Every structure is written in C-alpha cells, then in structure tokens.
Structure 1
Amino acid sequence: MATAVPESLAPAGDAPFSGGTNQAPAAEAALTCGVCLTDFDAMFRRPLLLPRCGHTFCRLCIKDLAARGDIICPSCRQKYENVEPDSLPVNFNIQCLASSSKIHTALQAEDSGSLCPEHRVRLSFWCSSCDAAACGECLFDHHPRNSHSVCRIQEVVTQVKERAERLSIASCEEVVIRLGYSVTRTLRDLSDIQEAAHLLQETTRIYRKAQSANTLSSITSVFESAKTVRDRVWALQDGIEEGNSVSIPDQVILSSRPAVLALSEGGGLAQVKVEKKGIHVYSLRPASTAYSVAIKLTVLMSCVKKESPMVFLDIKAGERRLGRVYITLVGKMKRSQQFQALCLGTLGPCYRGTRFDGMSEKGQPGEYLRGGDYQGKGGLGGEALMDNLEWGREWSQPKTAGQVCGVGGEEQRKFGSLFAVCLRDNPDDVFKCPFGNVTEGLEVLQVACRHEPFNVVHVGDCGLLIPLS
C-alpha cells in the first residue's frame, strides 16, 4: 500500500540521505533546542522561531528568557522587546521532522528486537488470516500465500498510523464542536442567571407598588407590569424544558451583559462568540474589559487547523456596516502567520480600525483593493512583523478573484504587513505572493470599492474563526 509523504517531510533527493556519516549528528542537532539540548516536541517544547534572526529554540527556554525581561537570542544576541513567547510563530518544519524522527527511531528499535522465536529471523511480514507476524521462513512453513493473506509488516504499521491520524483529527474536530456547544450553554446560563436576578428585583418592586396603588390607573399600570414579568418568567421555564439540545442562531449572545472572553498570556482579552459558521475569536483588547468567563487564548488556538487557518474582517464605511469577509490562509507561509497575528493582535499591532488605502486597475482585469496599514500612514506604512516573508519565484501565481496577496517585497520591509485582495481575474498577470483566498464575502469588498467617499472604508473588527464542522 503506497502512502503519500507530506511535502514538508519528503527529501528533495537522495543526496541528503546518502554517503557522509556526519549528516546524521547534524540532523539530530537541528532537532534539539540549542539551550537545554532537549528534543523538540509538539507540546511543551514546541520549536518557536525568532522571526528577525531565524533561530529556533524550545517554548520552555523562550519563556525562561522572557521571564528575565526582553528576549535575547542565545545564538546571535538579537533583542526582541515586548514579545510574548506564545505569539512567536512555530517552526512547523522542525516540529514535523522531530515527531517523524522519533516515530522512525521507535520503529527501528522495535523491529530490531522483533525476532521470530522459532527461526531467529526478523519478523518482516504480517499474516492477516492468522492475525500474526511472520518471518520469511514462516511463510513456507505456516503461512502459504496461496491460502493466506500476507503483506509486509511495514504496510500494517502504515495502515495503523493512518488510522491513528484519522482518529486524532476526528477527535479534534469533535472537541471543537463540543467547545462551541459549551460556550453556547455557558452564555445562555449566564444570561438566564442575570435575567432571573433582575426578575426577582422586578417582582419585589411590583408587589410594593401593588400594595400602595389606590387608583384604577395606577393599579392597571402595576397589573400590566406584572403580566410582562410573568411572561418573562415563563420564557425562562421554557428554556429549562427544552433540555440539552443546542441550536446555534446567527448570534448566540442573548444579553449584552454576560461575556466569554479569550485571555492571552500578555493580559489582553478577545471576545468569543459562537455564530453560524463557528467560534469567532475577535481581536484583542486591553484587560480592562469586564467579563464573566475567560478561556486561555492558547487553548482556542490549539483548535485551529494549522494547514488552513481561517480569519474574518468586518468591513465598514464610516459607521455603516457593509458585511463580513472570511479568508482561508495557507498555514505554512509566514505571511499567513503574520496576517493571522494582525487579525488577532497577538504581536501588538492589529488590522482593526485600518483603512483601505486605494484600488489598482479599477474596472480592469486584475482589479485589486489595498489595505493593512496599521501605522495609519495612508498606505505608506505597515511595517512587517516577521522577517524573510515569501516573495516571487515559486510563490507567484496568476491573478484570480479572491486572492489575498502581500504587497511589500523582499527589500520593502516597511510595507510587509500591507495586503491586496484581487476582485477580478487576470490570467495574463501575476501576484508575487498570494497567501490566502476569500472564501466568503468577496461581494462585500466589491461594494466597498464603489462607496463614495472611499476613504471612510475600513476594517471595523477582525479575528479568527474556528469552524464547528
């Protein structure tokens, strides 16, 4: 059974794995943290990339450096001021290689000790008819191929590995759905508690008014108020009788008072709402916002599909809301990681409140909209938050409607956070580095382009989407 190898793990050719004996120690060194000399993993020692210098160290060591003040790279002494460790991008190539290396080493160790007790030969085959491992000698003695189903044992390992991966992905998706339902129920319960407390105060006030009312008009007013309160009480009871079934309306928040927020390690708070398309994590605000329940932002981020994260932009013209745009990003690209950070504000700057600064090729094939200047310099700002952003070469693609592309090239760091959204196809022209696609709401941007005056069109809010399906 052939198994596809992910591109990030596939060797470019035979050369890196042939010949020299010094390559293995070098590869092993690349998979360990240079500070604590411990192997990277996908949990506590995730490889975090320092974006300006490109060096990688484990999460625990980066946190230890940050606890002493500004992060200073142990390799080159590059200084990172006011940077939260968990806001640094993960070096997914190193993480995948580290995980793959551990699995391969474990399999080698297991195979070397798995000898046939009868023939003292390595068990290289698996007989599914007998549900047992076999060596080459066993195939002749006990597992004839004309009547038994036999395959190489590595194929069984591959099959089990694929099943385990599918189960883990399915479990993650189920957890995200349950998380959405839990947030929904929490919001409803909080709203009911506050509504019940308010109704208790209302009933006390109405009772006192009924005792003191002496005229027909006053007692009629009290009676109408009592009926209204009674209807609201019955509404609470109906909610209890509905049981545990959860439906997700356009917006689940039933009251403006209760709030579920995501708490970043830097103390910022992001509002969490469960809407039709899933869990929406809005951009971070200062910690002065009042809230009822807080979830760690890192917990929500662990539910994001790393290969294709989704973000959203709420587009406004002045105070008028034009609509919402959903964008699916190419997770492996640094421009995508930077765009996601700017939608959430995890690295400090945020796209919230930024204006769209212009259009190019208006009315022509390849027409696109420009934005992303978080520095407010009319399209002449928007400095990159990460180094070595993709540009040109293998990243270039023909212009298609919905593409989201970077603007600042390799030598234009001051424009590195700007972006363009293509509104019309033009197969005769290219974007240098498309890193995402508008999956819903392209018509909102097309309406925004026609708005007069155009200079009031901006991003009202933005954030991250965790789909529930």
Structure 2
Amino acid sequence: MSTEDRFQRRITARDLLEIGGPLKQQIERGSVYCVHQVASEPKYGRVSLSNGKLCIHRMEDCQIPDDACIVNYEEARTLVDPSSRQTFLELGTNGATLGRLIIRLSPDTKGAEQFALICAGEKGVSYANTKLFQVHHRGKIYEYVGGGDYEYNNGDGGKALVAGLELGPEYERPWVAGTVRGFWGLGSSVSAQFFISTHDHPAGVCSPAFGIVEEGLEILTNAVQCSTDITEVYVQDCGIILNS
C-alpha cells in the first residue's frame, strides 16, 4: 500500500483555492496535510489558515490522522507566485509563542529560493527549532539579529542548500528595518543563515538582501529589547504561504 493510499481522501490544489465548508473545517481542525518525498521517505506539512492566508508548515516526519485529507506538495507549491513569495517564521521563548513574522521574498534570486525551501523543509531540514544566536550592534541604527543555523544551532553552521549563491546587484537593497539578508561568499559554510535588520539606516545598503518582513517585525524588536540573552528566542515553526 502506498503512502497516499492510506488516506481516505486526496484533494487537489484547486480544492485548496476553493476552500469552504467541510474542507475549511478540516483545515481548522489541523487534519489537512501536504505530502512530500524526501530521500524516498514521506514528510508531511500541515496546512493551516491564518488571517485568510493558506499556510504550509514545514515538512517533517510525523504521524497524521488516517482520515486526513492530503494534497501533493509539488502540486500545492504551484499555487505560489514565484515573483511574490511569502514565508513565515513563528518565534517563541520558554515554550511560549511570541508571534509570527511574515516575510516577502525578492523574485528570482537564489537567496530567496534557498530561504523558501528551508522554511518549507523541502530538502529535509528547516529553520524550526533553531535559535536566534546573536544581536549584532545592539542599540545602533545598523542593529540586526542573526539566526538560521540548522546544522549546529550556534552560529557556526548552515551550509548552502542551493548552488549559485553569488553576490550581484539584484541583492542590494536600502537598509531599512525588516530587511532580511544572508551571508555568503566564495566557500562560505554559513550561507543558509539569515539576518534581519531592526532599525532603519538611512545611508546604509544591505547586501545580500533577499526579503523584507511585512508583518510582525515588532515581535522581533520587542524580543531584542526584552531579552538579555537572545538565544532564548527561537523559531518554533516556519513555512510558506500559498495565496500571498
């Protein structure tokens, strides 16, 4: 019996777009999932609805109800407009949820592509359960927060998962609060890490930048102000948004 044959009902991406009635109720109950094969093993990402946005939470190895509705991840992913992608990072501390950052990614850049696939857990690893590891230049206009070490969770790792991460003019953005950027160069071993600016820097330019926090930046800035140890703040969950 195949993985998908275990379930009573398979749905399509079109079903997700036409959400309503019983399917909406099932999503709200947490029993609609995407299924994705990673290294020949099935991984599952829960589908949720938040403020009208359909979200796919990161793929993971988990038990799901036998009566769950499932949709193929590759099919669901076609609903995402590559020119205007959104992802989310849900932050928490000491077991409590702080809130969600909604991040709009730049179109057609390798940096944005990598960030999205790690948020989705598409390659078998994600930012979930990784801590923020440093506040750089605390209190200065060029303050920013680092995170995303999915390998060692201490700022020493986070190797690239896509090829072709090279600096170019498409990655240069004004240094404004909420700018999301990476850190890479020839031979960099931490290319999957991300850094989020918390203040505007009128004369500054961010590179390599690939996104902007559109919602929830105050959650991060409050965490910086209230936490003497930013490593107590971590990514509880992450994923991609379908109808952004």
TM-score bin, normalised by smaller chain? 0.7 to 0.9
Structure showing the higher helix proportion among its residues? 1
> What residue is the counterpart of 2:175 in the other structure?
399
Instruction: Give the structure 1 partner of residue 31 of structure 2.
Output: 259
In structure 1, what is the equivalent of residue 140 of structure 2? 364
* Higher alpha-carbon Rg: 1
Partner of 1:286: 61
CA contact under 8 A between 2:92 and 2:236: conserved in structure 1?
yes
Q: Structure 1 stretches of 5 or more lacking a match?
A: 1-174, 191-251
Report how far residue 345 of structure 1 moved.
Answer: 0.7
How far the C-alpha of 1:467 sits from its partner, in A, is 2.3
Give the length in aligned residue pairs: 228
C-alpha separation in 2, matches of 1:317 and 1:380: 21
Q: Deviations over 1:362-405 (max 9, x none)?
A: 11112111011001241111111112213255533331111100
Quote the residue 1:273 is aligned against: 48
Structure 1 residues 360 and 301, CA gap change in structure 2 (3 angstroms): same
Q: Is the 8 A contact 1:391 1:433 kept in 2?
A: yes
> 1:195-245 CA deviation, whole Å, 9 max, x = no partner?
xxxxxxxxxxxxxxxxxxxxxxxxxxxxxxxxxxxxxxxxxxxxxxxxxxx
* CA spacing shift, 1:320–1:397, aligned 2, 3 Å: same
Instruction: Judge conservation of contact 2:79–2:243 (CA < 8 Å) in 1.
Output: no
Aligned residue number for residue 223 of structure 2: 448
Query: Residue type of the partner of 2:177?
Result: A
Q: Give the TM-score normalised by the residue count of structure 1.
A: 0.46
Which structure: greater strand fraction? 2
Is 1:460 equivalent to 2:232 in the alignment?
no
Query: How far has the Cα of 1:446 moved from its partner?
Result: 0.4
Q: Normalization by structure 2: what TM-score? A: 0.86
- Whole-Å separation in 2 of the counterparts to 1:332 and 1:284: 23
Q: Is contact 2:109-2:170 (8 Å) kept?
A: no
Residues 48 and 55, structure 2, Cα contact 8 Å, conserved in 1: yes
Gaps of 5+ in 2: 1-11
Structure 1 CA distance for aligned equivalents of residues 212 and 139 of structure 2: 20
Q: Go from structure 1 to structure 2 and tell me whether the alpha carbon gap of 1:359 and 1:392 turns closer, same or farther (over 3 Å shift).
A: farther
Q: Which amino acid aligns with 1:422?
A: S
Distance 2:204 2:187 in 1: 21
Q: Determine the structure 2 residue equivalent to 1:434.
A: 209
1:30-57 CA deviation, whole Å, 9 max, x = no partner? xxxxxxxxxxxxxxxxxxxxxxxxxxxx
Q: Tell me whether 1:387 sits opposite 2:224 in the alignment.
A: no
Deviations 1:11-68 (A, max 9, x none): xxxxxxxxxxxxxxxxxxxxxxxxxxxxxxxxxxxxxxxxxxxxxxxxxxxxxxxxxx
Alpha-carbon deviations, 1:258-290, whole Å to 9, x = none? 601001133110000122131110001115333
CA distance in 1, matches of 2:241, 2:173: 26
**1: CA distance between counterparts of 2:14 and 2:70?**
18
Alignment check: 8 A CA contact 1:317 1:448 kept? no
Structure 2 residue matching 1:426: 3-state secondary structure: coil
Residue by residue over 1:156-191, the C-alpha shift from the partner in whole angstroms, topping out at 9 and shown as x without a partner, is xxxxxxxxxxxxxxxxxxx97862443653253x5x
Question: 1:185 — aligned with what?
Answer: 22
Structure 1 residues 409 and 427: CA distance shift in structure 2, 3 A: farther
Equivalent residues of 2:83, 2:108 under 8 A apart: yes
Q: Whole-Å Cα distance in 1 between the matches of residues 73 and 20 of structure 2?
A: 14
Q: Is the 8 A contact 1:448 1:454 kept in 2?
A: yes
